Amino acid sequence: RHALERAAAAAHLGAFLHIDADGALAAAAASDARRAAGQALGPLDGVPIAHKDIFVTEGQPTTAASKMLQGYQSPFDATVVARLKAAGVVSLGKLNCDEFAMGGANENSAYGVARNPWDTTRIPGGSSGASAVAVAARLVAGTTGTDTGGSIRQPAALTGITGIKPTYGRCSRFGMIAFASSLDQAGPMARTAEDCALMLQAMSGFDERDATSAQQPVPDFVGALNALRAGATPDKPLQGLRVGVPKEFFGDGVSADVLAATRAALSQLEQLGATLVDISLPRTELSIPVYYIIAPAEASSNLSRYDGVKFGHRAAKYSDLNDMYRQTRAEGFGPEVKRRIMIGTYVLSHGYYDAYYLQAQKLRRMIADDFQAAFKVCDVIAGPVAPTVARAIGSQTDPVQEYLADIFTLPASLAGLPGMSLPCGFSDHDLQKPLPIGLQLIGNYWQEAQLLHTAHAFQ
């Protein structure tokens, strides 16, 4: 009831697209009944959460923040939703995001912007913008997000919360509306690494209904939080941890406040026992063109299913079948989604495939190889999440400039590596309205436990 009241009172933040009060109260009552009957409780029993509206949910509408899916109702739950339900959570409903998760500001939603609770004239980041808002404004304890090129880490950073994008394949994509299938990953967003560990524990694991879900054992993420590393002591919990500092992440484009907070965080890691190691990720800049070829290419294919026949919206007026497709897609998709479909179709078309798509795939492999070279000399990589703090809503109209802000999150996405964002300070531009800054930690494949342990020690 408390969470529902807070959610209702925070309508101006634009966080929820759908609040399922009846469903939430019923789930909470069921949790109470389990408790009263002395039954075994799930690890997240009775904990109020909410889902990014990119996960399909039985009994609640799913729109992917698109007009194309207005009124769509899934007959089943996404695997991540079902697993959290099995762990006992109480879902309040569905959260705003960028349309089909395309964006970095939550300004591309067909249902209005989401606002940063620290300063409501500013963006919360995106695409899982409202997932970050709901936690930052303390509407719910945790939320689900998805990260294709930074959409968990970047909004977490801009709103001062913690979020983790696990290794590609760790969480099932079944029932997660596809944007770019080789990059999309689900992950938790919450106040702390500890809360993220609790949620990730429930969300992770092989799922035969997702062909790219990995047959990897799920470690004890919660137990790993306080597990003492070999050679570490309680006051030097990170003793022996080698933290790689990529020089490309500390260049000209990064604002002074972000640089200062990130450098301070690095010294704090040192005080906790870690050793800093200079490393290089030489193809960092190339991650932008590479991602903005591969992601739209996959999106153009994935979004071909929205044809007015199978799901959601269909144009009211049309002359024949082709015209029905044309009108439906013209009405249903917003401008950023259309832009990506056009780019994606172009780079996959005959004569351009070799020049763009194939080249991008080759560079993607080289970006992944750069990380493997770095992980020979360090255990985790640390740097900024975003080059600046949250900007004003409506202040960026050039899509290419907007894409550049993804520079520090795209490399780990292209490599399929786990990455997380944790709060590490504030901008001092206006002491009345401090704006959060996030520290990014990137780990090697399947090393989420190490990221969570490091973040927990830091917090």
Residues with a known catalytic role:
52, 127, 151
Using CB under 6 A as the binding rule, whether residue 125 contacts ligand GLN is answered as no
Q: How far is the CB of 291 from ligand GLN (least distance, A)?
A: 7
Using CB under 6 A as the binding rule, whether residue 155 contacts ligand GLN is answered as no
Using CB under 6 A as the binding rule, whether residue 406 contacts ligand GLN is answered as yes
Residues 6+ apart with CB under 8 A from 459: 162, 192, 193, 194, 422
Q: Which of 307, 291, 296 is nearest to 349 (CA)?
A: 296
Residue 146 or 328: which CB sits closer to ligand GLN?
A: 146
Sign of CA dihedral 59, 64, 67, 68: negative
| Binding segment toward ligand GLN, per CB under 6 A, in 39-47, 76-84, 95-103, 204-212 | 95-103
Q: How far is the CB of 300 from ligand GLN (least distance, A)?
A: 13
Using CB under 6 A as the binding rule, whether residue 103 contacts ligand GLN is answered as yes
| Binding segment toward ligand GLN, per CB under 6 A, in 96-104, 199-207, 256-264, 360-368 | 96-104
Using CB under 6 A as the binding rule, whether residue 87 contacts ligand GLN is answered as no
Residue 107 or 448: which CB sits closer to ligand GLN?
A: 107
Q: How far is the CB of 448 from ligand GLN (least distance, A)?
A: 18
Q: Compute how many residues bind ligand GLN; rule: CB under 6 A.
A: 13
Residue 91 or 148: which CB sits closer to ligand GLN?
A: 148
| Binding segment toward ligand GLN, per CB under 6 A, in 78-86, 143-151, 244-252, 363-371 | 143-151
Q: How far is the CB of 302 from ligand GLN (least distance, A)?
A: 12
Place of tokens 């969300």: 203
Phi, psi (5° rounding) for residue 274?
A: -70, 155
Half-sphere exposure of 333 (CA within 13 A, CB side): 25
d(CA 374, CA 279): 6
- 335, burial (CB in 10 Å: exposed 0-12, middle 13-18, buried 19+): exposed
Assess contact for 145 and 176: CB atoms under 8 A. no
Residue 179 or 325: which CB sits closer to ligand GLN?
A: 179
Using CB under 6 A as the binding rule, whether residue 149 contacts ligand GLN is answered as yes
Q: Which of 434, 404, 456 is nearest to 221 (CA)?
A: 456
Q: Which of 115, 51, 144, 15 is nearest to 391 (CA)?
A: 115
- What's the distance, CA 436 to chain centroid? 17
Q: How far is the CB of 406 from ligand GLN (least distance, A)?
A: 5
Q: Which of 45, 53, 147, 248 binds ligand GLN (CB under 6 A)?
A: 147
Work out the angle at residue 161's Cα, subtended by the Cα atoms of residues 156 and 163, and round it to the nearest 5 degrees.
55
Q: How far is the CB of 101 from ligand GLN (least distance, A)?
A: 4
Could you tell me where the beta strands, DSSP code E, fall in 205-254? 242-246
The residue nearest ligand GLN at its CB is 151
Binding mask 161-200 for ligand GLN (x = CB under 6 A): ------------------x---------------------
Assess contact for 282 and 370: CB atoms under 8 A. yes
Residues 6+ apart with CB under 8 A from 350: none
Q: How far is the CB of 147 from ligand GLN (least distance, A)?
A: 5
Using CB under 6 A as the binding rule, whether residue 295 contacts ligand GLN is answered as yes
Binding mask 334-353 for ligand GLN (x = CB under 6 A): --------------------
For the record, the structure tokens of 175 come out as 């029932």
Using CB under 6 A as the binding rule, whether residue 102 contacts ligand GLN is answered as yes
Using CB under 6 A as the binding rule, whether residue 104 contacts ligand GLN is answered as yes
Q: How far is the CB of 45 from ligand GLN (least distance, A)?
A: 30
Residue 184 or 448: which CB sits closer to ligand GLN?
A: 184
Residue 102 or 272: which CB sits closer to ligand GLN?
A: 102
Q: Which of 193, 185, 233, 235 is nearest to 210 (CA)?
A: 185
Phi, psi (5° rounding) for residue 212?
A: -100, 5
Q: How far is the CB of 116 from ligand GLN (least distance, A)?
A: 16
DSSP string, 286-330: THHHHHHHHHHHHHHHHGGG-SSSSSS---S--SSHHHHHHHHHH
Residue 306 or 458: which CB sits closer to ligand GLN?
A: 306
Residue 124 or 149: which CB sits closer to ligand GLN?
A: 149
d(CA 362, CA 69): 35
For the record, the structure tokens of 282 come out as 């030489």
Using CB under 6 A as the binding rule, whether residue 204 contacts ligand GLN is answered as no
Place of tokens 């099995």: 86
User: What residues make contact with ligand GLN under the rule CB under 6 A?
Assistant: 101-104, 127, 147-151, 179, 295, 406
